[in-house]
Amino acid sequence: MLVVFLLACACSANALRVGVGIADVTGPPAEIGFMGYANFEQTGHGIHLRQFARAFVLADDNGGKRMVFVSVDAAMMGNGVRKEVLKRLKKRYGELYTENNVIISGTHTHSTPGGFLMDFLFDLPILGFVKETYVAYIAGILKSIFMAHSRLRPARVEYAEGEILDANINRSPSSYLKNPPEERARYTYDVDKTLAQVRFLSPQDKVLGVINWFAVHPTSMNNTNRLISSDNVGYASILMEKALNGNNTLPGKGSVVCAFASTNLGDVSPNTRGPRCEFSGRVCDQQSALCSGHKERCFASGPGIDMFDSTRIIATKLFDTAMKVLSEPGEDVTGPVGVVHQYVDMPKQSAPPYDPITEAFNNSAKVSGCYPAMGYSFAAGTTDGPGAFDFTQGTTTSNPLWNAVRDFIAEPTKEDIACHAPKPILLATGRARFPYEWQPRVVSCSVARIGGLVVAAVPGEFTTMSGRRLRRVVAKAAPSARRVVIAGLSNIYADYIATPEEYQAQRYEAASTIFGPNTLNIYLHKYAELTEALVKGETPEPGPNPPDFSDQLITLVPPVLWDAAPWGKEFGDCVKQPQKAYSHGDIVAATFVSGHPRNSIRHGHWYAAVERLESEEDDAWTVVATDADWETKYIWQRNSKILGTSHAEVEWEIPSSTTPGTYRLHHYGNYKYILGGIYPYHGFSDSFEVT
């Protein structure tokens, strides 16, 4: 999807109104698989950082146009979620917000609940569709848009940017080197190092909201993590919001909203130490990502001592740069708001190939899209999260045994095999029909604008060079465009988009480029068409609607049957108390008798809180931290599935800024009675002193 904001003086800044909103979208925090690493064993057991939706509504009172951009702390966005959001927006606002002007982008964190995409391959590692995740995302996204709509006020827009070093690396550098040397010579690095920032300011220059785009995978939290986490970009958002709302503001409760949204992050990793062998510590073979030891995996790690520390370091780099950019003068963004949108059936598309050297389309030739398919190297995973079995990067030959397994599921045609070459097809997802569609064929593409600022919102993960080509194509199609930004993983998820040259190397990103070697060429041509239509004020054909599988969805996720407290205990009882006194930097912990957290998502509330005693006489306590804060962890475990007993551990690492005083840990939840009904409970620990 492409959102285009163009910078050109065409209307008064007073004609623009902006509203911002933030809402909790946290999915079920226990016993639901995470979307991202495709690891069946990675199921949730609590919360590290809550998920939020951050909405930005722009209204051009001169032209009567509106647009909505929502950045969601989720792996990506699915058509089913967006479709339901639009349906409910229509009930409240009529035709004000439609598929033509609403863009919903996932940050791409790999540590949040899945089961909401309604494409079988994507929901398979989560054991199918999960209604709790689906409803949580819809409710939170809607609430953020409602809030932004209600807060519309006169505003102006500025654009600025800054450079961030040592926060990202290319995880497939050998693929990047396949791109033409003349093209690579235009750029200093093999990943984008620029943070692009759009900020919304009141007439009094008060910051209302900020959108930052920086190319990095939110995979600082690795595939051993079991706690919901918005990862590096999510924590950067919280840091910036606290800085602008006041450090005592609880996450999700401030009036200033700051997003770190996804962009062309396809081949970009935050694990800056690079790939090393699991046991020996030696640098991996970069081409195949292989190690010499028996069953020794190759994976990359971040700059910290563990994944939490790495997340903090990368997030802090993003935050520091964003705040520095915010303090510097920006470019005024003025001009009309406009949006165009089209659904595109990718296998039916043909387009002229694009020459990255001349930066022109060869209109004397045509290339075509393929039915979706995944290559062998897809199963090898990446150095951020290695795959399974004996699959390796760069595989361009097939295996008869795995082909037999593939053909049992769905057999590719001879045309499919030829179309995807040199990719050997491991899964012919475009031919699979049981139990329903495995991957999307129809994608959602948009172009929006504010004057001369252009943001390209795409339905997948563009690699570094793919994104660079897209920005150049859009800029050429809109001659007045001064800035172009890509917003990734928007509206529908259609995997990766590698360049045709990178496709030949068949590393993970290329093997996951599902519409074949000409995928990027088709997108480039389509977005050029849409951008030209927007500039001319034309409305493109809507295109074919994506199919609806909502009545065919299956799930193997077992429901919560009942909860029970151990003999002699009640829900909320603190069975392991904290010590009597702590100092800054210490970790306070307490354990409570708990119900299953899937009994209630508790949006806008929390499962765990830290409270400070304000008045002993009145027994008045103030919440100073929740399970959305960095310093806390809410960890849930089922003791016995048969008996239905559980416990929850609440941890708080005391920040150095904590005011000395009396504190306690508070746990909230809901339990499911064996004879029916769900009931709330709460309990708190003994008080303790922070000195």
Q: Which residues are catalytic?
A: 269
Angstrom distance (rounded) from CA 276 to CA 459: 31
Answer for the pair 77, 119: CB distance below 8 angstroms, yes or no: no
Q: What residue type is 593 in one-letter code?
A: V
Angstrom distance (rounded) from CA 470 to CA 414: 31
Angstrom distance (rounded) from CA 168 to CA 238: 20
Distance of CA 512 to the CA centre of its chain: 18
- 476: three-class secondary structure by DSSP: helix
C-beta contacts of 275-284 below 8 A and 24+ residues apart: 275/171, 275/299, 275/300, 275/383, 276/300, 276/301, 284/383
Angstrom distance (rounded) from CA 649 to CA 655: 19
- In sequence order, which residues have a C-beta less than 8 Å from that of residue 482 and are 6 or more positions away? 6, 7, 8, 331, 452, 453
Angstrom distance (rounded) from CA 32 to CA 111: 11
* Residue 570: other Cβ atoms inside 10 A: 11
- 226: three-class secondary structure by DSSP: coil
Angstrom distance (rounded) from CA 364 to CA 563: 68
Angstrom distance (rounded) from CA 29 to CA 601: 8
Answer for the pair 491, 446: CB distance below 8 angstroms, yes or no: yes
| Kind of pairing between the strands at 102-106 and 65-72 | parallel
Closest by CA to 438, choosing from 519, 547, 556, is 547
Angstrom distance (rounded) from CA 534 to CA 582: 60
Angstrom distance (rounded) from CA 561 to CA 641: 9
Q: What is the dihedral of CA 316, 320, 323, 327, to 10 degrees?
A: 170
Q: What residue type is 148 in one-letter code?
A: A
- 28: three-class secondary structure by DSSP: coil
Angstrom distance (rounded) from CA 13 to CA 635: 48
Both tokens assigned to 541: 């054909």
* Residue 665: other Cβ atoms inside 10 A: 28
Answer for the pair 539, 611: CB distance below 8 angstroms, yes or no: no
Answer for the pair 362, 355: CB distance below 8 angstroms, yes or no: yes
Concatenated DSSP letters of 498-560? --HHHHHH--HHHHT-TT-TTHHHHHHHHHHHHHHHHHHT------PPPP--TTT--B-PPPP
Give the residues across from 68 on adjacent strands: 57, 102
Angstrom distance (rounded) from CA 263 to CA 461: 8
Angstrom distance (rounded) from CA 131 to CA 113: 11
